[in-house]
Amino acid sequence: MRRALLLDTETTGFDPSQDQVIEVAACLYDLEIGCPIESYASLIFSASGNPIERINRIPTAAINGAPHGIAVWRRVAEMAAASDVVAAHNAQFDRSFVRAAGIASVADRHWVCTMDDFEWDGSGSLKLVEIALGYGLGVASAHRALADVDTMARLFTRVKEMGADLPALFRRAARPKRRYVARVSFEMKHLAKEAHFRWDEPRREWWKMLVPEDVTAMGFPFQIVQRDA
């Protein structure tokens, strides 16, 4: 765990089977030093433009003139090859789109999630901006790929400055996890939300990925059961 590739994507929707990546940003980050080494970001051409421009604020005209994905993903893959792990905020989302784009050399690497796999001090929020603010970091912009990757990099640098062993934090974050489901009634669902479990509508259950060896010490105010992912 010497170098991590911090990665973020902007997409045309939430379904990797029909939507696509229109922006990607990556930062090769040295965990031993606590410092970014190299950053890269690019929009990606999409024949359908940007149907959710009103949400992500990426001009369709810019997408029409952007490089094609092959060249963009080639550079990201080169950076990934120089890393030991890929980190993203809500990694499951970004990884699913990277895989759908056919970039197996990146998607098949070991990934950790800065939203689920790290224990942050401060606000207790899962939102990247609020986590950063909790560490006293200013946030000038958000929700564009490069801005979010820069926020992740500055967050890790701040944690390093506070005395954290970043390689050790990443090794801990990379431990194997299993899917656990909270057994709560409708009236008690707020307890699952407060414990950062997520609602799975198709399965009708509150779930969270947890390290089995840590479960007993977590002391949830409800019963949890392990389920297949």
The rounded distance, in Å, linking the Cα atoms of 128 and 145 is 12
pLDDT value at residue 14: 93
User: 41: helix, coil or strand?
Assistant: strand
pLDDT value at residue 143: 74
Q: Name the token pair of 99.
A: 């895989």
pLDDT value at residue 140: 78
Block means of pLDDT (10 residues each) for the chain, 229 residues, are 97 95 98 98 95 92 96 98 98 97 97 95 86 91 88 97 97 96 96 94 95 93 90
pLDDT value at residue 124: 78
pLDDT value at residue 228: 78
Model confidence, pTM? 0.93
* Contact yes or no for 11/22 (Cβ under 8 A): yes
Domains within the chain, CATH numbers bracketed: 3-173 (3.30.420.10), 178-227 (no CATH)
